[in-house]
Amino acid sequence: MAKKMDKTQTTYRPPIVSFLGHVDHGKTTILDKIRESSIQEDEEGGITQCISVYSVRHNEKDITFVDTPGHEAFDLMRLRGGSVADIVLLIVAANDGVKPQTKESIEIIKKAKKPVIVVINKVDISGVDIPKVKRELASEDIIVESMGGDIPSVEVSGKTGKGIPDLLDMIHLVAEVSEITPKD
């Protein structure tokens, strides 16, 4: 006899999170810091060449990450990476601001209609102007919460690890609020 399943019981499914952004803005560096690895060192020219998938455990729950190439030659891979994700992390280097692949990534995000978290990386570099980066994003219709919008943002350093725990917490929060993962 088959056992009836309780309809109130849900199974946790890790959110699938994709990194999008301009080349050399630190997507793989952030992921390396999260997974405590150094995959980027093995990449040709330090640039991600293919889509890679990794699972990481944070606060007793898994998160699945999809890393995509940032270089302009890999447009189709970024499009696919953005479309399979539940949540998209838009990585923008604090010292560089919005660049061509950032704008392309924003278009992918808009078309995919996925929840997005803006991740401002390289905040450890002296003299960065984070409000300027947020204004540049606003000019592309990406308005973060601190500027009156509804898109969460997290400031991190993929190099030092600053803000990485906050980023992982934000991913879990967005997944829960967006009902990608069930509430505890």
58 in catalytic set: no
17, 63 Cβ separation under 8 angstroms = yes
Q: Give the torsion through C-alpha atoms of 29, 33, 36, 40, to 10 deg.
A: 0
User: What is the DSSP secondary structure assignment for residue 168, as one 8-state letter?
Assistant: H
| Virtual torsion, Cα 26, 158, 35, 32, nearest 10 deg | 40
The three-class DSSP label of residue 120 is: strand
Active-site annotation holder among 22, 25, 71, 172? 71
Whether the CB-CB separation of 35 and 50 falls below 8 Å is answered with no
* Greatest distance between any 2 Cα atoms in the chain: 68
Residues acting as catalytic residues: 71
